[in-house]
Amino acid sequence: MEGKKDMNKNMLYRSIPKVDVLLEEEQIQALIARYSRDTVMEAVHIEMDKLRKYIAQCEEEEKAKKQISLLREHIESSVAAMHTPNMRMVINGTGTILHTNLGRAPISREHIKRVADIATGYSNLEYNLEAGRRGERYSHFEKLLCKITGAEAAMAVNNNAAAVMLILSSLAKGGEVVVSRGELVEIGGKFRIPDVMEQSGAALVEVGTTNKTHYDDYENAVTEETKALLKVHTSNYRIVGFTDSVGIDELIPLAREREIPVIEDLGSGVLIDLSKYGITYEPTVQESIRKGADVVCFSGDKLLGGPQAGIIVGKKKYIDKMKKNQLTRALRIDKFTAATLELVLQEYLSEEKAVQNLPVLRMITETQDETQKKAKSLSRMLKLAAVPAKIDIQPCESQIGGGSLPLERIPSTAVTLQPERISVTEFEERLRHLPVPIIPRTVNDMILLDVRTIESWQFRQITGQLKDLKVLEESGASNER
Ligand SMILES: *Cc1c(COP(=O)(O)O)cnc(C)c1O
């Protein structure tokens, strides 16, 4: 370090170009023409500040000079970054199908194209084309939902948390709602059934214990004040062992006698029997309606495989109350959701089509053989591209995620990567910084890409990005700051 203290910092500072001179340069003028003078100015100031700070702490003249020479390039990338959307597609190599942090259910390209066609212009969102007057935004998918689930009426709000709140506010405000202690769930993001109930203005009456609730518990809890019985599907955890709960079919007679509705929050919202595909049976919406539930709600972007939404189906007299509730205005879905929901639900008219065309169902039902074929093809492509890492495939297990079927493990296949020149931690970080970031699983000092959550068309994207040697060479960082 000694000997470098006498470097001439003043001279270095003076060699930084003046702002007005810089702005006249061709390269910067081109940036102004392409973007705007304001953003370029902002980038100039940010980069100049960074450069001065760098020089202030820099101990080597050569390095400082290098940074000064890179100023224009840094301004260019800074402006470009300002104009690059931060939210983008990522490649999900974790094998968790409904990854809440990664946006839960992916929507198919075909459906998004159709939605784009609708949303780039005006639409009949709330316009009845038959009658030539105001229509209802739920009309596009209400009939479909009724047909698929067997319910009398349907609507949708922003998400299932909102659906629970709207239902309770519409049917039980100022009264009591009886719910089992074994069903007072907290779903990620601090959403707790008891808290939502409080917000809705309905008082919670807890019955039973964590592991056991009996019919008598409900019967004894029902009073003049009781406005509804609530069942919550414990979708994100399982109480196992010495347990007992009361099925919806047992609650129906009690509710009928007291003339109150039975509400069921199903959480995941499965519309097909998943046990056919080797997945643990999840109660379907149809089953709940068939057993007599008056109102059922579920998420649009969990096992249904659609957009974020809280779907409510049930008896018309209750749904009508909800449609009239003032809260509905605050919780209503937008045109993107309404359009996507219709397309996704239409696929359910044929189970075969749903499993083929909805990415979530396709991923869930993909066999291990299919994942093995996919993994072989991806590893072959990576090897052909001479990616500097040890590449192999190995069996692994995928998860459903999103708080659905928490214990379920689906046998799958992963492509494994062991970088030759950098650490796994470093590699993982670089994968996150790619133009199309790759989010892998890291196990035993190895990078795993579970191909179940990666579509085949993304293989080229992966290979193309990893072929770029910088991702795997010793020092990929071009910018030292
Ligand atoms: C996931 C879940 C919710 C919340 O659904 P969002 O659509 O995420 O708001 C509510 N209840 C249950 C039982 C759930 O599993």
Determine if ligand 1 sits within 6 Å of the CB of residue 401: no
Name the average pLDDT for the chain: 91
Determine if ligand 1 sits within 6 Å of the CB of residue 404: no
Say if CB 455 and CB 370 are below 8 A apart.
no
Round to whole Å and give the CA distance between 78 and 44. 9
Mutate to test the pocket of ligand 1, among 195, 265, 268 (most ligand atoms within 8 A of CB): 265
Q: What distance in angstroms lies between residue 70's CA and the mean position of ligand 1's atoms? A: 50
pTM: 0.90
Q: Give the pLDDT confidence score for residue 3 in this predicted structure.
A: 45
Q: Give the pLDDT confidence score for residue 327 in this predicted structure.
A: 95
Q: Give the pLDDT confidence score for residue 209 in this predicted structure.
A: 78
Mean pLDDT of 313-325: 98
Structure tokens at 73: 């390039």
The number of the ligand 1 atom at minimal distance from the alpha carbon of 234 is 13
Determine if ligand 1 sits within 6 Å of the CB of residue 371: no
Q: Give the pLDDT confidence score for residue 436 in this predicted structure.
A: 95
Half-sphere exposure of 229 (CA within 13 A, CB side): 31
User: For residue 98, with 0-12 CB atoms within 10 Å meaning exposed, 13-18 middle and 19 or more buried, which class applies?
Assistant: buried
Q: What is the DSSP letter of 408?
A: -
Of residues 69 and 245, the one with the higher pLDDT is 69
Determine if ligand 1 sits within 6 Å of the CB of residue 267: yes
The number of the ligand 1 atom at minimal distance from the alpha carbon of 232 is 13
Q: Give the pLDDT confidence score for residue 184 in this predicted structure.
A: 81
Mean pLDDT of 389-394: 95
How far, CA to CA in Å, does 190 sit from each of 100, 186, 363, 372, 386? 14, 7, 28, 38, 46
Q: Give the pLDDT confidence score for residue 244 in this predicted structure.
A: 74
* Per-residue pLDDT band at 468 (split at 50, 70, 90): confident
Q: Which of 53-67, 203-217, 281-295, 364-378 has the lowest mean pLDDT?
A: 203-217
Q: What distance in angstroms lies between residue 272's CA and the mean position of ligand 1's atoms? A: 19
Q: Give the pLDDT confidence score for residue 355 in this predicted structure.
A: 97
Round to whole Å and give the CA distance between 1 and 310. 63
Considering only CA atoms, which residue is closest to atom 1 of ligand 1? 267
